[in-house]
Amino acid sequence: MTPEVQAYLPYMVGPLATLIVVMLGVFFNNRHIDARLADTNRLLGARIDDTNRMLGARIDDTNRTLGARIDDTNRRIDETNRIMETRFNDMIRMMDARFNDLLELIRSETHRLETTMKAEFALVRGDISKLEARVERLEAQRVIT
């Protein structure tokens, strides 16, 4: 090798060595980034799965709570309906009893008034018969006279 080549050798090898070192760094860094991205992806997937499980548990708990509240509300509505039906049936029975009492009172009063009217009618008939007899007697007396 000539001294001139030796003098220029570092200028030729230096950039080439730098280029090789940079390329190796890029390749190793690329593998490191791929590994970090894979780790990040795995961690994010795990966090998303944990979040889904946590939200699923909360939703299930909320559904159970809401289901229990709905069941309790339905039970109270059914109980209120039973109470209202019982009260309504009691009211109907009481009204039927009152109507039956009123009907019996009307029948007894009607019978009493019929009996009273018949007695009064009998008295009036008796009075009419007496008056007719008296009129006949008076007419008989007038005919004779």
Strands (E), the chain: none
Amino acid 4: pLDDT: 77
- 0.75 surpassed by pTM: no
What does the block give as tokens for 80? 């209120």
Dihedral over Cα of 65, 71, 72, 74: its sign: positive
pLDDT band at 66 (very low <50, low <70, confident <90, very high): very high
Distance of CA 13 to the CA centre of its chain: 86
Instruction: From residue 61, give the alpha-carbon distance in Å to each of 53, 68, 107.
Output: 12, 10, 68
Dihedral over Cα of 35, 41, 45, 50: its sign: positive
